[in-house]
């Protein structure tokens, strides 16, 4: 959460910073700010609210007032202190000598503030103390430079942070520090850059370096110097970004969310690409997950799996549980990552942990995975963002290859995560000898039909829009499902509430009669996941129960269940039969994504930037 960008060496850094902040706004939009320096003074402009408030304020500045070749910017997701102008970043020391922008939480900020004595703070943030501390260190007898002063400060910081600082006295220098919050640095054509995410840098370069925890860097127009906290040279993680600027644009869609919903056939195609083939030496084709890096013999010994994730990724993990238990025969627990390390999970070297995350930067998931690694459990991350912290820190990684996901509400990341889970389930079955090679090959070839089936589902958009128009003002929506329909019911409810702010909940359909059915009254909407399959008859009974109590029912069926559903539901959406029952969720979530999107836009909500949310959650 919070987005950081810094540029040094450009004729006008502010334009580049604002363009970068635009791409980082998904990380938080409570306020935005920028600071530049010309060697005489630091000049700051910052405003509460979305980036457009900052750009409006910048436009009011006298011509050239902020122009400089070095500057840093920030877009905020508030943690400490209300989202107002005062708490907006950048923050400075009382003399305006040093300015800082920060992503994360300095957990010991109160203690650090007290250590400064009787000093006035201009904001309620945890971040401001960093500027004060750096300024104090700059005054030390050995007259340290900004890099050295920052090194001395981070030695005392506790918590998660990526920090970016400029000093009035070092006009062409930006210093950054990273611990448990992402920070990318780069240098191209005489310009040095840093940002929370490559999306902000992609217009300038695709060759970047991710700083590792504990690393500090000095960025100048001449290059990037990376050191550790003791000042010794350090090596960041260098990589090349495979997607380009065009992929990060809206390409004519009204919102990123809609674009990303419609990108799902391609995204799933890319996730499945080239997974089944002979090895370099020939032989018969097998399912290959090249980046997994965990010895097949170790995987064959696994007797328990934990899937750890948050939000939408957790729902994908619930489908993963069904796939792994069904194909590989290993017991699987799916757990909210933020809970895992605060209890006493029983994990050891025979427990495989699968950590699922679009961003690979969700701090709860990273911390849970690292807790499991401390108990010697192998960790596989199922991640979209290449080079992200989770991808780097896990023993093995399976990339979803969904391309950049910008909308806060996750869509294509989710469907590709489910496909990733199916691949992992099949792979574990393969290494454990639970499946004939022909069986694996058959399922994999059937999964290749998903992109075409997704295109067919997307063709229902007009029908779904008409339904959304009808239910735009519904007070309460309950989503119900069984087996692989349950995670999709949960995901459908999450999508609806996060972008339309309508009250929505999901329940296992069989649980209704144990309490939740009391909520149903005339006017309630129930969305029921009812594909053909082994739980269909039970779903029909549950639909009848809610209808008998006055609810309107929208049933999401499949070609083989739709005709029967028409006798029981007010509306039926007939999806194509999935190529495998466990692939059904990849298709059935799409109408729910579209329904939520259409309801939210009809209600006039800001779909790509829903209130109180941010895309990458780097605080606990």
- Report the catalytic residues: 2, 615
Instruction: Considering the complex, state which of residue 87 and residue 618 has its C-beta at the smaller distance from ligand F6R.
Output: 618
CB 610 → ligand F6R: shortest distance, Å?
9
Query: Does residue 310 touch ligand F6R according to CB under 6 A?
Result: yes
Coil, helix or strand for 248? helix
Give the distance, in angstroms, between the CA of residue 200 and the centroid of all CA atoms in the same chain.
15
The side-by-side arrangement of strands in the sheet containing 332-336 is 332-336, 304-309, 351-357, 379-383, 396-399
Q: Estimate to the nearest angstrom the gap between the alpha carbon of 108 and the chain centroid.
A: 27
Answer for which of 70, 351, 410, 593 binds ligand F6R (CB under 6 A) is 410
Q: Across-strand partners of 238?
A: 209
Write down the least CB distance from residue 328 to ligand F6R, Å. Answer: 23
Binding segment toward ligand F6R, per CB under 6 A, in 2-10, 165-173, 236-244, 304-312: 304-312
Q: Should residue 313 be labelled a site residue for ligand F6R when binding is judged by CB under 6 A?
A: yes
How far the first Cα of the chain sits from its last, in Å, is 11
365 vs 524, beta carbon nearer ligand F6R: 365
Binders of ligand F6R: how many residues, by CB under 6 A? 14
Binding to ligand F6R by CB under 6 A, coded x per residue (else -) over 334-373, reads -----------------------xxx--x--x--------
Q: Is residue 381 within the footprint of ligand F6R (CB under 6 A)?
A: no
**Cis bond before residue 90 (omega within 30° of 0):** yes
Q: Does position 601 bind ligand F6R by CB under 6 A?
A: no
Q: Between 60 and 99, how does the x/- string for binding to ligand F6R read (CB under 6 A)? A: ----------------------------------------
Distance of closest approach, residue 247 Cβ to ligand F6R, in angstroms = 18
Short-list 271, 324, 582, CA closest to 448 = 271
Q: Kindly state whether residue 311 participates in binding ligand F6R, applying the rule CB under 6 A.
A: yes
Pair of tokens at residue 205: 């370069």
| Nearest to ligand F6R of 400, 558 (CB atom) | 400
CB of 286 to ligand F6R, least distance (A): 29
Task: Considering the complex, state which of residue 224 and residue 409 has its C-beta at the smaller distance from ligand F6R.
Answer: 409
Between vectors from CA 271 to CA 270 and to CA 273, what angle results, nearest 5°?
60
Distances from the Cα of 358 to the Cαs of 365, 371, 418, 537, in angstroms? 11, 20, 12, 35
| Contacts for 303 with CB less than 8 Å, ≥ 6 apart | 330, 331, 350, 351
Closest CB to ligand F6R among residues 229, 336: 336
Min. distance of Cβ 409 from ligand F6R in angstroms?
A: 4
**Alpha-carbon separation of residue 557 from 43, 187, 548, 618 (angstroms):** 59, 52, 20, 38
Residue nearest to ligand F6R (CB): 311
Alpha helices (H) along 379-504: 389-393, 412-431, 437-447, 450-458, 461-470, 485-500
Q: How far is the CB of 361 from ligand F6R (least distance, A)?
A: 7
Return d(Cα 276, Cα 286) in angstroms, integer.
Answer: 5
By the rule CB under 6 A, 498 interacts with ligand F6R: yes
Given the rule CB under 6 A, which of 78-86, 185-193, 261-269, 308-316 is the region that contacts ligand F6R? 308-316
Collect all residues with Cβ–Cβ distance below 8 Å to 459 and sequence separation of at least 6.
none
Q: And the tokens for 528? A: 């029921």
Among 272, 409, 423, 594, binds ligand F6R (CB under 6 A): 409
Residues binding ligand F6R (CB under 6 A): 310-313, 357-359, 362, 365, 409-410, 494, 498, 617
């Amino acid at each position: 959460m919070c987005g950081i960008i810094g540029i040094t060496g450009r004729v006008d850094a502010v334009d580049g910073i604002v363009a970068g902040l635009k791409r980082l706004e998904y990380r938080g939009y409570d306020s935005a700010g920028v600071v530049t320096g010309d060697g005489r003074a630091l000049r700051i402009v910052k405003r509460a609210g979305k980036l457009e408030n900052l750009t409006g304020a910048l436009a009011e500045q006298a011509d050239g007032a902020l122009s400089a070749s070095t500057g840093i910017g920030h877009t905020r997701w508030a943690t400490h202190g209300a989202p107002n102008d005062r708490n907006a970043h950048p923050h400075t020391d009382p003399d305006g000598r040093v300015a800082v922008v920060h992503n994360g939480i300095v957990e010991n900020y109160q203690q650090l503030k007290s250590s400064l004595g009787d000093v006035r703070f201009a904001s309620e943030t945890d971040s401001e103390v960093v500027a004060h501390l750096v300024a104090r260190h700059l005054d030390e007898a050995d007259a340290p430079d900004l890099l050295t002063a920052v090194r001395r400060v981070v030695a005392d910081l506790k918590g998660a942070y990526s920090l970016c600082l400029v000093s009035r006295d070092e006009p062409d220098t930006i210093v950054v520090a990273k611990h448990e919050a992402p920070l990318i640095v780069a240098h191209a054509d005489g310009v040095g850059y840093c940002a929370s995410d490559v999306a902000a840098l992609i217009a300038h370069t695709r060759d970047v370096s991710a700083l590792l925890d504990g690393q500090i860097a000095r960025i100048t127009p001449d290059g990037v110097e990376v050191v550790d906290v003791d000042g010794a040279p350090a090596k960041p993680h260098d990589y090349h970004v495979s997607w380009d600027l065009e992929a990060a644009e809206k390409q004519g869609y009204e919102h990123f969310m809609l674009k990303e919903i419609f990108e799902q056939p391609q995204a799933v195609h890319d996730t499945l690409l080239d997974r089944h083939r002979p090895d370099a030496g020939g032989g018969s084709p097998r399912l290959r997950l090249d980046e997994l890096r965990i010895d097949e013999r170790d995987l064959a010994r696994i007797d328990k799996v934990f899937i750890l994730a948050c939000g939408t990724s957790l729902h994908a993990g619930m489908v993963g549980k069904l796939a792994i238990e069904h194909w590989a025969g290993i017991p699987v627990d799916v757990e909210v990552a933020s809970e895992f390390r605060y209890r006493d999970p029983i994990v050891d070297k025979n427990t495989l942990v699968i950590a699922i995350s679009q961003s690979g930067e969700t701090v709860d998931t990273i911390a849970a995975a690292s807790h499991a690694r401390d108990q010697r459990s192998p960790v596989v991350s199922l991640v979209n963002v290449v080079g992200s912290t989770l991808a780097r820190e896990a023993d093995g990684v399976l990339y979803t290859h969904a391309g950049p996901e910008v909308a806060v509400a996750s869509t294509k990341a989710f469907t590709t995560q489910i496909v990733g889970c199916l691949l992992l389930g099949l792979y574990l079955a393969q290494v454990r000898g639970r499946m004939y090679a022909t069986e694996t090959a058959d399922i994999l070839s059937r999964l290749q039909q998903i992109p075409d089936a997704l295109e067919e589902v997307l063709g229902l958009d007009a029908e779904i829009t008409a339904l959304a128009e009808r239910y735009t003002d519904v007070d309460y929506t309950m989503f119900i499902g069984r087996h692989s329909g349950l995670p999709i019911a949960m995901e459908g409810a999450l999508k609806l509430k996060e972008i339309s702010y309508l009250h929505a909940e999901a329940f296992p359909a069989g649980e209704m009669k144990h309490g939740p059915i009391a909520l149903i009254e005339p006017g309630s909407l129930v969305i029921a996941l009812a594909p053909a399959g082994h739980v269909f008859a039970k779903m029909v009974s549950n639909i009848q129960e809610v209808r008998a109590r006055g609810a309107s029912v929208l049933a999401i069926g499949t070609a083989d269940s739709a005709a029967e559903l028409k006798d029981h539901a007010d509306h039926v959406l007939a999806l194509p039969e999935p190529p495998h029952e466990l692939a059904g969720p990849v298709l059935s979530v799409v109408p729910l994504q579209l329904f939520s999107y259409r309801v939210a836009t009809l209600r006039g909500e800001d779909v790509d930037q829903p209130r109180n949310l941010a895309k990458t959650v780097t605080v606990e």
